[in-house]
């Protein structure tokens, strides 16, 4: 029971760390920051086109935006750490390398999986842009650092053998 509590606390701290690291990385990097601004501008333009020149931020629109943000945070920050922690506990893997690489690889693979699952046929064959590669690197680095935070908090200290 004590181990389960440690795992839950470690996951909560690591997920919070992942969210903060990702936010700081996205805001501080000029290339990804400009890509996010372009994405938000295109969403705004699309909203203007759908609303015939006006955007009404009613409760449904705000709920939709909040839902989009929470789904993105869940997929990019919560899923990789939780999945790697569950696999590590099942396999009794306590290595720092595992706890850094597994969430990093999962987080970096999520955009690729979404691109192939949701993309149109022409989009699947298109080469990745440098901005996409930068996002993948940021996702990997943030998840790997958060995995290290999880490892520091949750690692099991081996007791000294009794003599």
8-28 pLDDT, tens digit per residue, is 999 999 999 999 998 898 888
Between residues 2 and 127, the one the model is more confident about: 2
Alpha-carbon span 1 to 139, nearest angstrom:
32
Residues sharing a CB contact under 8 Å with residue 154, sequence separation 6 or more, in sequence order: 6, 7, 10, 11, 85
What is the DSSP track for 21-58?
HHHHHHHH-HHHHHHHHHHHHHHHHHHHHHTTT-----
49-96 pLDDT, tens digit per residue, is 555 555 566 677 667 777 877 888 888 899 999 999 999 989 988 899
What is the DSSP track for 77-130?
IIHHHHHHHHHHHHHT---HHHHHHHHHHHHHHHHHHHHHHHS-HHHHHSPPPH
Instruction: Please state the pTM of the whole predicted model.
Output: 0.78
pLDDT given for residue 56 in this prediction: 62
- Residue 153 in contact with residue 14, Cβ under 8 Å? yes
Q: What are the tokens at 77?
A: 């920050």
88-147 pLDDT, tens digit per residue, is 989 988 899 999 999 999 999 988 888 777 766 666 666 777 888 888 899 999 999 999
Alpha-carbon Rg for the chain, nearest whole angstrom, is: 19
């Amino acid at each position: 029971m004590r181990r389960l509590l440690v795992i839950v606390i470690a996951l909560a701290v690591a997920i919070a760390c992942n969210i903060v690291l990702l936010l700081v990385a996205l805001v501080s990097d000029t290339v990804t920051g400009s890509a996010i601004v372009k994405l938000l501008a295109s969403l705004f333009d699309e909203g203007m086109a759908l609303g015939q020149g006006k955007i009404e931020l009613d409760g449904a629109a705000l709920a939709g935006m909040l839902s989009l943000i929470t789904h993105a945070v869940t997929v990019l920050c919560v899923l990789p750490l939780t999945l790697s922690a569950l696999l590590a506990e099942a396999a009794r893997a306590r290595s720092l390398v595992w706890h850094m690489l597994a969430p990093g690889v999962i987080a970096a693979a999520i955009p690729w999986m979404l691109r192939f699952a949701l993309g149109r046929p022409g989009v699947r064959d298109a080469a990745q842009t440098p901005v996409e590669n930068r996002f993948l690197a940021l996702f990997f680095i943030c998840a790997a650092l958060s995995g290290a935070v999880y490892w520091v908090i949750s690692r099991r200290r081996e007791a000294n053998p009794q003599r």
